[in-house]
Structure 1
Amino acid sequence: HPECRREVVRAADLYGSTERIIQAIRESPPGSKWAIGTEINLVNRLARLYPDKASHSLSPFQCLCSTMYRIKPAYLLWVLDNLAAGRIVNRITVDQETAAQAKIALDRMLEI
């Protein structure tokens, strides 16, 4: 996953977004073996979805991605209710350069 340390990404045979990882494993031949450097639940999900391919985490001691667990319908509803009431909760601010790069990434995602 591109969020890994740069030296890990450089050493990888393949890297990409979550969707790219899923696509690579889905399209790989039966019996192929994968060492995946991303959140453990995705690795486990891939192992369940594609039992004919060996999917293993690069780190057996990997922490769970705590931010992924916050994305639940009830939490999203709470944020939207607050926005509708004119309250901004959990605001994140970044410098202008980071904001400009983030906007490019968001625009590209929304184009898809």
Structure 2
Amino acid sequence: MLTTTTQAIVTFLFKPKTGNSHELIASIVYLPDKGVSEYLKSIRRPFVRDILSKQFGCLNTNSVRIMHETTPIPRAVLETDDKDLILICDGTYARYQKTTNNEERTLSGQKRVPSFV
């Protein structure tokens, strides 16, 4: 049986990676269905406060760093110079607060995972 801390961390990492329902995740990490929601809430708050706000986002980098880390492929596809800033935003892992109805309506046949409208 998994420990509470391990269950919480596995749940938090597993949800955005798979997009699975809370019921399925609960069965995998041995939790009641409502336990998944509680774990996600309990991990999300400190993650946003302590990690996300300090390590990610536009306020934690600068354009020079982004330009330096841009790979040659987007530069070639978009036909840009080295001095141009390229920023590609992808919502692949942003699946936390989607309803089942919305997931069914927006299922991407390409990725076989729910997509945003």
Is the pair's TM-score, using the shorter chain for normalization, greater than 0.5?
Answer: no
TM-score normalised by the shorter chain: which range applies? Answer: under 0.3
Give TM-score, length-normalised by structure 2: 0.24
Give TM-score, length-normalised by structure 1: 0.24
Higher relative contact order (CA 8 A, sep 6+): 2
